[in-house]
Structure 1
Amino acid sequence: MEFALLGWPEDGHRLRLDHERFAYAGKFVMTSTGKAVVGDDGVVAAAAFDADRTDADTLCIRYVTVRQDRQGDRLGARLLRFVRDRAVERGYDRVTIGVNNPFSYQAAYRAGFAFTGEERGLGELTLEWPGTREDARYQAGLDVYRDRDLSDAEESFLAEKRDAGPPDVVPAPV
């Protein structure tokens, strides 16, 4: 798998993804966000990001999408780690992401992020790097999801994670 930074927000890069295979595909056509991708023979995961509107030292990852047939392969976590590492190289002190489901929450934790205790937008939990990766904080975020209307897969996932600590952080992509 190759990880690539296609450009920063000021580069005005567009990325066209198949809307039938990727969630949020239309968000990647916008030129106001930076883009990073994972691929082997075509794009299998993508992230869009830009600077926080109120804190120039913070990069916000706005969207992450993994092609439907590759979900569960930990590509989202590895791509988040890749973007986080590029942000640090560029001089950002903090990286945030808002996630709206327990699978994305787990992927962000695997990338080294931690729940801030805050929610934003339409039910998104805010995670940050660097952050406090304590068991209680990790479970507090999962508890927010437990109070929501969930799919069977999400409920099963949350049951497996009850009383668990945060997952190990994935290694940096090479």
Structure 2
Amino acid sequence: MLENRVCCFYDVLSTHDIESARRREDSSSQCHNRYILSSELQYNFMEFTVLGWPPEAPTLRLDYRSFAYAGKFVLSSVGKAVLRTEDSSEIFTSPEAHAHVDANESDRGQSMHADANTNHPTESDPYDHSVLAALSFSADRTDDTTLCYRYVSVRSDKRGSGLGPHLAASLTPHAVDRGYDRLRIAVNNPFAYEAMYRAGFAWTGRETGIAELVLERPAEIPATTTYEQYQSGLTEYRKRDYDDPESTFLANRQETDPPALHTAVNSTQ
């Protein structure tokens, strides 16, 4: 059992996007070539920023109505990176935003009144509305050369657009610069599993004590993987009693190769 619990995110992938990116290898026993998704990210207004590294990273206030695990990003003990926008048409607040929210979410007591004309936190609205996706991370507790992705959260209206994999991939060169040689994440659903494969991770064959699948990659390059390795992770999810949309997602990925890689987003740092 791994000591470090690493959580996943909800960013359901587009079936059309996945289908268009598939490429079958002649031999399933050979390592699958990790090829780059050729289509460009549709959000030209988006930028990647590393807000800070642990143990003294700045806090990040995300609207719990739009982001899963929003309260986890308030902690200063974990590093944080974001995809954000300055495009006013993409900045909004919505009390009806659908999100998977922790029952103990600490942000529930905050004001629900927001100034729609600004993305900057204010006393009446403490949330940063410029953020489209956020990632928290910290070093492995037993191996300081391994960086663990803790939480990845995509704004509710942007799930399915590939922001999660782009964000995860964008942090990798910065991790190398900080001296990390390996990246790790544990995922608890097949959507996150697929998304992290798009970010260059591959299943290790290990699970955490709470049945999360552990994926890793070298920090400098995407992991090499095989058809069998990719499918074996999906098989673990198929053993579980999922309803839709997970069951349909898994059925549609029978006998398919690992998905195409998503590229990193240009950094402002």
TM-score, normalised to structure 1, is 0.96
- Give CA deviations for 1:69-103 in whole Å, capped at 9, x if unaligned: 10001000000001222112222110000111111
Change (3 A) 1:33 1:121: farther
Answer yes or no: is 1:60 the counterpart of 2:148.
yes
Determine if contact 2:227/2:257 at 8 Å carries over to the other structure.
yes
Other-structure match for 1:20? 65
Most deviating of 6-15 and 105-114: 6-15
Other-structure match for 1:163? 255
> 1:122 Cα shift?
2.2
> 1:121 Cα shift?
4.1
Other-structure match for 1:33? 78
Answer yes or no: is 1:90 the counterpart of 2:178.
yes
CA distance in structure 2 between the aligned counterparts of 1:118 and 1:55, rounded to whole angstroms: 17
Of structures 1 and 2, the larger Rg is shown by: 2
Between the two proteins, the alignment pairs up a number of residues equal to: 174
CA distance in structure 2 between the aligned counterparts of 1:8 and 1:18, rounded to whole angstroms: 22
Which stretches in structure 1 are left out of the alignment for 5+ residues? none
Determine if contact 2:153/2:164 at 8 Å carries over to the other structure.
yes
Name the structure, 1 or 2, with higher relative contact order (CA <8 Å, separation 6+). Answer: 2
Q: Equivalent residue of 1:11, what SS?
A: coil
After TM superposition, the structure 1 = structure 2 runs for residues 1-174 of structure 1, keeping only pairs within 5 Å, are 1-41=46-86, 42-130=130-218, 131-174=223-266
- Whichever residue aligns with residue 151 of structure 2, its letter is Y
Q: Which has the higher strand share?
A: 1
Determine if contact 1:66/1:75 at 8 Å carries over to the other structure.
yes
Structure 1's consecutive aligned runs of 4 or more residues displaced over 4 angstroms after TM superposition are none
Determine if contact 1:24/1:65 at 8 Å carries over to the other structure.
yes
Q: Equivalent residue of 1:49, what SS?
A: strand
Most deviating of 144-153 and 30-39: 144-153
Which stretches in structure 2 are left out of the alignment for 5+ residues? 1-45, 87-129
Determine if contact 1:115/1:132 at 8 Å carries over to the other structure.
no
- Give CA deviations for 1:122-167 in whole Å, capped at 9, x if unaligned: 2211000133411111111111111112231111111111111111
> 1:169 Cα shift?
1.0
Determine if contact 2:82/2:133 at 8 Å carries over to the other structure.
yes
> 1:39 Cα shift?
1.2
CA distance in structure 2 between the aligned counterparts of 1:68 and 1:121, rounded to whole angstroms: 29
